[in-house]
Amino acid sequence: GCPLFIECVARWALAKNMIEFVEGTKKVNLKLLDERSDDVTAAIPRELSNILLAPFNKLSPPLWDVLKIASCIGYSFDADLYSTLNKVLEFMPKVRELSAKYDCFEQTGSHFRWKQQAVYEAVKSLLMVNQRQKIHKMIVRAFEQSKINSHIDDIKGGDVRRLLGRHCALAEDWAGACEQYMRAGDRAKAMFNFNEASKMYEEAIDFQAKMSEQPSLRSRMIPTINLGTCLRELARYKEAEAVLTRCLNETKGECAEIALDEELFVRALTALAALYQAQSKYDAARRLFERAVPIARNIQESRSSLWLAENIAGYAETLRKSGDLPQAERHHREALEIRTRAVEEKSCTDLELAVSYTQLGCTLAGMRQYKEAYEQHHNALGLRYRYLDFSHGLVSESLNYCAESLCALGRGGEGIPLALHAVQIRRLIFGTSHPAYAHALSVLASCYHAVNRYFDACDCLEKCLEICEVAFQKNHANIIPNLMNYGNVLR
């Protein structure tokens, strides 16, 4: 009854003259192999795999090994990702030989796929559990011993980390699987692919639970904090709050029994504070930052610590959004000074300055110092354009703020092309239901409004409000200015 095997079985039976097609009907009859008996079961193989694998009976042992390894890798695989196996096994040359001589695989570019899923399943069924584990361990070892490991994140968009994590898991190397999925999550997070990153961190947390020895508190909490951060970026606020609150409570609980891991405690505090800030719970966010920042200052002796700058800037953003703009400016300028020292000491590139330029620009805009705000955003855009791909999420952020500043300076027409690019990039990165996309639409609407393109502005704001009403709770701070702008356009 399984359609995957019907064609293979029918072809085999026809070749053995065991069945015949009845002309004029849609029936196939089973022919009697022995006229004296109607028992044909003895002629039929006990296992279907014997039928499917019969063409490969004369394969050399090295080719059989490659066939088995390919079945462990999966139904499809990329030649570039598994090129590291060539040195030990000549894996891909043998895959191509199997494809050319035995019609096992079909190829599209560097991508290979088993030609018949039934054959793939049959080969896989030959392997015992311990044999499969040994093969997966061998694949992991080949990756670790190869030179590819030094630039692994640059290959195929970092897919190697995720695949290597899968092989570690199938080899029951839970610690290795956790590490690889963590790194895959970190890379996806850096690329603003928060949906993929959250999945990777969830996998890492699941594998930690399978370890025979419980990992340290820090090892357990870091993927949990990162998961909560990704859920926040995806506007899944309730899930993020549950994850981060549990994380903070667990950190406090365990640190009460042992020496406090102050850096971890600060990370847990600031992650939850950033979530409260995103939900417009500024008082709660401020209280958490006011606990975290003094600890961060106390434990970080270096005057060029990017980690300290990040915590000070996070506090400053909460101050800005809660309306305390002078204090926000003071803290953002302090964070900029720390990052500037780090650049001078060559502990980071000047791309790091773009973060402070952006945050300081937003603060100055709130203080109606639009000219300097535009200069700060323009500096950030220049750095990001130099170091990053044009379609990167951080480039779209700077385009967005430059357009907003130009609009405030009465140069809305100049802001339109920048805002259009920002909308397009954010649509590709975040999708059409994310608050970041809504913000880009809002800025574009302001630019349209400035040049009297009222209908275009109205369309943008209606889409923006539809997104905000789903993503945020009623009377959220991000909805109010968009409602006011919509009212101005309608007027």
**Range with the poorest average pLDDT among 14-28, 86-100, 167-181, 368-382:** 14-28
Strands 19-21 and 111-114: unpaired
CA distances from 258 to 225, 253, 297, 488 (A): 20, 9, 22, 58
Q: Cα dist. 404→83, 191, 378 in Å?
A: 48, 24, 11
Q: How confident is the model at residue 33 (pLDDT cuts 50, 70, 90)?
A: low
The mean per-residue pLDDT over the stretch 189-216 comes to 92
Q: What pLDDT does 258 receive?
A: 58
pLDDT band, residue 300 (cuts 50/70/90): confident
**Two tokens at 32?**
């009697």
pLDDT of residue 43: 58
What is residue 259's predicted lDDT score, i.e. its pLDDT? Answer: 63
Q: 37: which strand partners?
A: 34
The proportion of the chain whose per-residue pLDDT surpasses 90, expressed as a percent, equals 58
Residue type, 481: P
Please determine, for residue 335, whether its predicted confidence score (pLDDT) is greater than 90: yes
Say how far apart CA 285 and CA 324 lie, in whole Å: 13
Q: What is the pLDDT of residue 1?
A: 47
- With b for 16 or more beta-carbon neighbours within 10 A and e for fewer, the 436-454 pattern comes to bbbbbbbbbbbbbbbeebe
Q: How many CA atoms lie within 13 A of 61 on its CB side?
A: 0
HSE (CB half, 13 Å, CA atoms) of 181? 28
Q: Which residue has the tokens 């805002």?
A: 419
pTM score, two decimals?
Answer: 0.76
For residue 459, what are the contacts with CB-CB under 8 A and spacing of at least 6? Answer: none
Average pLDDT over residues 151-175: 78
Q: Which two tokens stand for residue 2?
A: 């399984």
Residue whose pair of structure tokens reads 């909308």 in the numeric block: 423
The backbone region for 410, taken as left when phi is positive above 0, alpha when psi lies in -120 to 50, beta otherwise, is: left
